[in-house]
Copies of this chain bind each other. A is one copy, B any other.
Amino acid sequence: MSGMQRQVVLRAYAKGNPRATDFAIEGAPVPEPGEREILLRTIYIALDPLIRFSLDETLISGASRMVPGEVMVGPTVSQVAASNHPDYAVGDYVEGRSGWREYNVVAPDRSDYRGPPRKLDPALAPVSTALGALGGPGQTAYEGVVNVGRLQAGETIVISAAAGAVGSIAGQIAKALGARAVGIAGGADKCRALRDLGFDATVDYKAPDFADQLKAALPEGADVYFENVGGDVTLAVLPLLNRGARMPMCGFIAYYGVGMEGPGPDHLPGFYRMIMNKGLEIKGFAGIFAGQKGLDAIAGWMNEGKVRFPESIVEGLEAAPEAFSSVFSGHEHIGKLLVRVAPETC
């Protein structure tokens, strides 16, 4: 297993939306696992939009900041390529955070904040779902819809970035709970894909009459707004929220590159007015996960065919920078965006 590998490093801090040129691909030695360590071979990398927070020179988020030259961070599914640890055998599949590289050595006993790499059973579900419906995005969707949003049967939920990994699962959870799900996504293809997943209605935010379409899709308003976006989409949604609506917020991709202040006018007064007039309840919950209960519920719905999990896979580590930057510029991918770095079986 000794030899060279490829890895993607941060070249320069992102300004505004990340560009492919902010990253560089370089060679590095494949590391050797020491005592009680394992060598992981990356199969899938999840291009998580939240990674954007780590790429900012003026860090104003809870993420840890990267330094140019470092290997890109991020969630991965890997296979154990060599093991000096009794709990892991060669060929085991694990979910971890190897980052954007082909190989990585991990010491399971010195676990990072999320614990040792989680072993996956490929007989239960495709291993890629560990980065989606049966991983962070699924738990985030469950937390937002069920625990924070407290969505009830018969209510209406509207979801921004509905074609993303979290949004597409959130809408299906809403349907499984007996609620009405309205998705906001960019482009006719994404909207069609969401209706195929069972969304009751979809609205294309790129359409010139977006606000009117949204109003027509919400004839009785919305009781929960699952917020992933911010910006113009949110300004169109707010007037349509019902009194006492809940607004679980797990992202705001329109503002990731903006910092604390965007160009005027100031929309905070209007936001306040909506919060107070409508008695809105807003809660940020990024990084708060629903836990095993949420995963079990989603796995059950998947077995019943009520939740399907769309993935968009780009091939090869070298495609990662371009694909990641496309996340911020209205890309055409549906569901979780993954990079396949190597085939699933060694």
Using a CB–CB cutoff of 8 Å, the interface residues on chain A facing chain B are 60-62, 230, 249-252, 255, 258-273, 275-288
CB neighbours (8 Å) of A264 from chain B are 263-266
State the 3 A-B residue pairs at the shortest beta-carbon distance, nearest first.
A264-B264, A260-B270, A262-B266
Minimum CB–CB distance from A245 to chain B (whole Å) comes to 10
Q: A279 is contacted by which of B252, B266, B271, B285 (Cβ under 8 Å)?
A: B285
Interface pair B275/A249, CB less than 8 Å apart: yes
**Nearest B residue to A281 by beta-carbon distance?**
B283
Interface pair B269/A271, CB less than 8 Å apart: no
- Taken together as a complex, chains A and B put the C-alpha atoms of A108 and B138 apart, in Å, by 55
Minimum CB–CB distance from A68 to chain B (whole Å) comes to 23
Given known A280-B283, A283-B280, contact A230–B275 (CB-CB < 8 A):
no
- Taken together as a complex, chains A and B put the C-alpha atoms of A269 and B249 apart, in Å, by 13
Question: How many protomers of this protein does the assembly include?
Answer: 2
CB neighbours (8 Å) of A286 from chain B are 276-277, 279
Interface pair A282/B279, CB less than 8 Å apart: no
Minimum CB–CB distance from A269 to chain B (whole Å) comes to 4
Interface pair B266/A261, CB less than 8 Å apart: yes
- A267-B267, A275-B282 known; 13 new pairs, CB 8 Å cut-off, are A61-B273, A249-B276, A255-B269, A261-B269, A262-B266, A262-B269, A264-B265, A266-B268, A268-B271, A278-B284, A279-B283, A279-B288, A282-B282
Supply 22 A–B pairs (Cβ within 8 Å), ascending by A: A60-B277, A61-B276, A251-B276, A252-B272, A258-B269, A260-B267, A261-B266, A263-B264, A263-B266, A266-B267, A267-B267, A267-B268, A271-B271, A275-B282, A276-B284, A277-B286, A279-B283, A279-B288, A281-B282, A281-B284, A282-B282, A282-B283
- Taken together as a complex, chains A and B put the C-alpha atoms of A280 and B250 apart, in Å, by 11
**Nearest B residue to A282 by beta-carbon distance?**
B282
CB neighbours (8 Å) of A288 from chain B are 279
- Taken together as a complex, chains A and B put the C-alpha atoms of A285 and B244 apart, in Å, by 9
